[in-house]
Amino acid sequence: MIVSMRPKSTENEVNGVLEKLESLGFQHHISRGVERTVIGVIGKIYPDLKDTLELMPGVVEVVRLSRPFKLSSREFHPDDTVVRVGDVTIGGAERVVMAGPCAVESREQLMETAQAVKEAGAHILRGGAYKPRTSPYSFRGLGEDGLEMLAEAREKTGLPIITEVMTPADVGLVSQYADILQIGARNMQNYILLDEVGKVDVPVMLKRGMSATIEEWLLAAEYVLAQGNQNLILCERGIRTFETYTRNTLDLSAIPVIKKLSHLPVIVDPSHATGKWYLVAPMALAAAAAGADGVMVEVHITPEDALCDGAQALTVDNFRLLMGQLSTIQKPLQQATL
Ligand code: PEP
Ligand code: MN
């Protein structure tokens, strides 16, 4: 249930509603937008509650939400969420580019790639230190050594870093290094992990599970938000379909759907969505045209030597080309549709 306060409602009026909810045993989340304050009510709603709350001073409307996700919904938070990471904003007027290798493989590989993507205009450096691999015999990342290298690359280039955390036990450690914690597609429904990243003060990027519906994805987002972490970004990375030519099928329509249903920024990862390097640029450009808040692409200095996902990695030259092409596409104006 959502309680909308009238524009310019007073602190006393807002507190009156919060106290009433507490006295009735409900949890609440407050969203103070540019236009108005909205209070999300969590708990077992009974029919008379709407009438009770609508009688309170400052309340204009009480709406029961039929959707199962609440805190991630536009009804609860009509303005776009803008996540700030250093000087970079995600979800605002600018479009961000996150780039870097699939995995941190060595100091040289990471420093060279970081420098190259920085020079080409990337805003955030990506690189996995803990890699979720389909086969346990594949390269699974350098662990904390990889995190150290990422921190050094940040120091050298000034680029904030995004890296994956795979287990609840690692959240504390990875949070000491990362500017954004990535939750990978395979862990989208690891609810204990989602709870943990919801408790830290580091932005989170939640990738869509490869077989997850948009509703399941937003319910996963709800776990993070419900624990208090509001700096959440979504990432569409392709879903499983019957098509086998591409690694996954990029669900471009998820971008405007998310924009309609939610206030959260959405990034598109055309690398994992396609699995083929020559499909990365066309899909990145399509994502930009469809209103994505940014893209995340894998770049390798020598893709043929990559320990992970070489087939989908852009060379530095091709990444530079993509940056030029992306700059020709304006970020479409979002419509906050209710
Ligand atoms: C990644 O970005 O490194 C990754 C493993 O992607 P996904 O979780 O989308 O498969
Ligand atoms: Mn990868």
pLDDT tens for 142-193 read 999 999 999 999 999 999 999 999 999 999 999 999 999 999 999 999 999 9
Q: What's CA 25's distance to the chain center, in Å?
A: 32
Distance CA 54, CA 3 (A): 8
CA 126 to ligand 2 center in whole angstroms: 10
Q: What is the mean pLDDT of residues 10-20?
A: 96
In this structure, the answer to whether residues 118 and 220 fall within a common structural domain is yes
At 338 the pLDDT is: 41
CA 34 to ligand 2 center in whole angstroms: 38
Residue at 72: amino acid letter: S
At 332 the pLDDT is: 85
Distance CA 200, CA 163 (A): 15
Look at ligand 1, atom 4, and give the residue with the nearest C-alpha. Answer: 184
CA 98 to ligand 1 center in whole angstroms: 13
User: What's the pLDDT tens digit per position in 57-90?
Assistant: 999 999 988 889 999 999 999 999 999 999 999 9
CA 262 to ligand 2 center in whole angstroms: 27
In this structure, the answer to whether residues 46 and 127 fall within a common structural domain is no
Phi-psi region of 293 (alpha: psi -120 to 50; beta: other; left: phi over 0): alpha
In this structure, the answer to whether residues 125 and 260 fall within a common structural domain is yes
**Degrees (nearest 5) of the Cα angle 238, 268, 302?**
90
Task: Give percent above pLDDT 70 in the chain.
Answer: 99
Global confidence as pTM = 0.94
Burial class (CB in 10 A: 0-12, 13-18, 19+), 300: buried
Total domains, the chain: 2
In this structure, the answer to whether residues 42 and 147 fall within a common structural domain is no
Q: Indicate whether 56 belongs to any domain.
A: yes
**Degrees (nearest 5) of the Cα angle 25, 27, 29?**
150
User: What's the pLDDT tens digit per position in 231-261?
Assistant: 999 999 999 999 999 999 999 999 999 999 9
At 335 the pLDDT is: 55
Ligand nearest to the CA of 165: 1
Ligand 1 atom closest to Cα of residue 128: 3
pLDDT band at 334 (very low <50, low <70, confident <90, very high): low
User: What's the pLDDT tens digit per position in 189-222?
Assistant: 999 999 999 999 999 999 999 999 999 999 999 9
- Distant-in-sequence, close-in-space partners of 333: CB < 8 Å, separation ≥ 6: none
pLDDT band at 40 (very low <50, low <70, confident <90, very high): very high
DSSP state letters, 20-52: HHHHTT-EEEEEE-SS-EEEEEES---THHHHH
Look at ligand 1, atom 8, and give the residue with the nearest C-alpha. Answer: 184
At 175 the pLDDT is: 98
CA 312 to ligand 2 center in whole angstroms: 8
Domain that holds residue 227: 83-336
Q: Indicate whether 260 belongs to any domain.
A: yes
Write out residues with Cβ below 6 Å of ligand 1.
Answer: 102, 128, 132, 164, 184-186, 207, 237, 269, 272
In this structure, the answer to whether residues 89 and 8 fall within a common structural domain is no
Mean pLDDT (the chain) is 96
